[in-house]
Amino acid sequence: MTVREAAIATNPLARAAELLPARAAVAVSIAARVLGALSVLWYAYDQYDAFDGRYFPRTWAYAVAVAVLAVVSMVPVRGWAGVAASAAGAGLLVFAGAILAREPWGVAALVAGAVAWLAVASAAYQRGGGSPAAIVGLFAGAGLAFAVAVGVALGVGE
């Protein structure tokens, strides 16, 4: 029995990671990040629409910054850094979604980010030992979400 087979035999998370082929997991992570970015942008548009076209620059600035960073995280990079970057994009959506979770589109971004992160972690595991990079990326995404929130709050009036 190989180390990998032994891990799958004893670790339910390893078995779960094998449920989706690595290429499919990568595709799911990209699709979920696209949906998460759109959810955040829709959050800002929904606010604009609900208040009869009143423009809230702070919300737009945050939504656009999060969406752009989520898209940037899809740039293909090999190895540990690639896994960490993808996971950071997913983590960014998770924690930006948590910040925006008082409205449904914020919750949608959170869910999309969580799905994207699980897919990133699955692909990373199947391609060999990238799980720590996925975990580090997740919390780097949290740092990004809070840094952008603070920067926008301090730099953009409403």
Burial of 44 (0-12, 13-18, 19+ CB in 10 A): buried
Q: Rounded distance, CA 84 to CA 137, Å?
A: 4
* 127 lies in the binding site for another protein (CB under 8 A): no
- Half-sphere exposure of 150 toward its Cβ, with a 13 Å CA cutoff? 6
Query: Going by C-beta distance under 8 Å and a sequence separation of 6 or more, which residues neighbour residue 72?
Result: 89
Which one of 18-26, 28-36, 71-79, 100-108 is the stretch in contact with another protein (CB under 8 A)? 100-108
Burial 96-133 (b: 16+ CB within 10 A, else e): bbebbeeeebbbbbbbbbbbbbbbbbbbbbbeeebbeb
Write each residue from 16 to 55 as x if it is in contact with another protein (CB under 8 A), else as -, in one continuous string.
Answer: ---------------------------x---x-xxxxxx-
Query: Per CB under 8 A, which region of 25-33, 68-76, 125-133 contacts another protein?
Result: 125-133
Specify the residue, 112 or 138, whose C-beta has the smaller distance to another protein: 138
Q: How far is the CB of 152 from another protein (least distance, A)?
A: 8
Contacts (CB under 8 A) with another protein, residues 63-92:
none
Nearer to another protein, 5 or 49 (CB): 49
List contacts with another protein (CB under 8 A). 11-14, 43, 47, 49-54, 56, 58-59, 62, 94-95, 98-103, 110, 129, 131-133, 135-136, 138-139, 142, 145-146, 149-150, 152-158
